[in-house]
Amino acid sequence: MPTLRQWEYLVTVVELGSFTRAAESLHVTQPALSHQLRTLERAVGGTLLERLPRLVSPTPLGRAVLPHARAALADAERALCAARRAAGLEEGELEVATVYSVGIGVLPTVLRTWRLRHPDVRIRLREHRHADQLRDAMLAGEADIAVGPRPRDWEGTLYELDTEEFVVVAARDDPATSRADRDGIDLSHLADRDWIHYAQGNGLADVVDSACAAAGFRPRPAVRTEQSAAAPVLAASGLGVALVPANILPREFDGAVLRPKPAITRTLAAYTRHDPDPLTTAFLRVLREWRSEGALSR
pLDDT of residue 119: 87
pLDDT of residue 151: 94
The amino acid at residue 155 is E
Average pLDDT, the chain: 89
The H or E element containing residue 99 is strand 92-99
Closest Cα to residue 221, out of 212, 25, 263, 61? 212
Q: What is the DSSP string of 221-268?
A: EEEEES-TTHHHHHHHTTS-BEEEEGGGS-TT--SEEE-BSS--EEEE
For residue 297, pLDDT over 60 is answered with no
pTM: 0.69
Alpha carbon dihedral 171, 177, 179, 180, in 10-degree steps, equals 130
- C-alpha 83/C-alpha 38 separation (Å) is 32
- C-alpha 235/C-alpha 242 separation (Å) is 6
Q: Where are the beta strands (DSSP E) in 129-212?
A: 145-149, 157-170, 194-198
**How many residues comprise the chain?**
298
Percent of the chain with pLDDT over 90: 58
pLDDT tens digits, 131-172:
999 999 998 888 899 999 999 889 889 999 989 999 999 999
